[in-house]
Amino acid sequence: MHTSLRAVGINAVFMQTYIGGVSCPYICGRHLDHGVLLVGYGSAGYAPLRFKEKPYWIIKNSWGENWGESGYYKICRGPHVKNKCGVDSMVSTVTAIHTSKKE
């Protein structure tokens, strides 16, 4: 991911009870019902017998700083996870192009 933010659609059912850590719901629909910003990614320790690390997306939510991890949500990503909660289904970004008009 470059420096620009990505607006993504997500199924927010499991976000309602999120309090921290990397969320990787076992069952999560792909029906998109909430818009958030994808702002980055990372990885955390995981069960060593299954995966060495647990990669995740960092998502900024609009529910305020008292929700989640100061307004942010971590959802699992990677080769073992395909489109968890629909996060890969609808991604949008905007790129500004500077143009100069010669007179």
Residue 35 phi, psi dihedral angles, 5° rounding: -110, 135
Residue 84 phi, psi dihedral angles, 5° rounding: -60, 125
Active-site positions?
Answer: 34, 61
